[in-house]
Amino acid sequence: MNEQTQLEKINDPEWYERLIEDCRSIIVESEFTSRWSLVDGYHQLGIRILEEHDNFERSKIYGKDLVSKIATSVGKSDRTIWYAIQFAKKYPDLDKLPEGKSTSWRTVVNKYLPDSERNKTDKEYHEHDWEEKLICKVCGLVKNDL
């Protein structure tokens, strides 16, 4: 393209509007993909932890400290790990999430998880009985075995 043609193109309002629309579409799509990827990732994290905890022998070994140990090892807060677990428990099938793929992790935490989970401090999470009524808070053993 010669210099004159390039200047004409840059000054063409229709060309510029198409460029801006394409740029906006790229931004919107990448933001959507990013938000959903985070939701999906935390869901997978929660499912994975729940699968491991369902292994009876390991649940006796790790007991109540599993969440805290995982959080420390992966560089996340106990609270974030708890959110992931509670999210996976409440929505084992992501297709059942009310807002579907148009939701964000923040929305999941603030709108779809129980208030009691959101109001805990990080310290309370490692003391919490995350497999409600199945794990002893004192010794970490499965209560059915006591």
Report the 3 state secondary structure along the chain: CCHHHHHHHHCCHHHHHHHHHHHHHHHHHHHHHHHHHHHHHHHHHHHHHHHHHCCHHHHHHHHHHHHHHHHHHHCCCHHHHHHHHHHHHHCCCHHHCCCHHHCCHHHHHHHHCCHHHHCCCHHHHHHCCCCCCCECCCCCCEHHHC
**Does a structural domain hold residue 30?**
no
**What pLDDT shows up at residue 134?**
46
Residue 58 lies in a domain: yes
pLDDT digits (tens, 9 = 90+) for 76-108: 998 999 999 999 999 999 998 888 888 899 999
**What would the mean pLDDT of 105-129 be, rounded to a whole number?**
67
This model's pTM is above 0.75:
no
Residue 69 falls inside a structural domain: yes
- Residue 17 is assigned to a structural domain of this protein: no
Domain membership of residue 90 (yes or no) is: yes
Split into its structural domains, the chain has a count of 1
Q: Is residue 23 part of a domain?
A: no
> Distance of alpha carbon 109 from its chain centroid, rounded?
8
Over 70: is that where the pLDDT of 29 sits? yes
Confidence (pLDDT) at 3? 65
- Predicted local confidence at residue 13, as pLDDT: 84
Domain limits for position 130: 38-145
Q: Is residue 5 part of a domain?
A: no
- Average pLDDT in the chain: 77
* 54 is a domain residue: yes
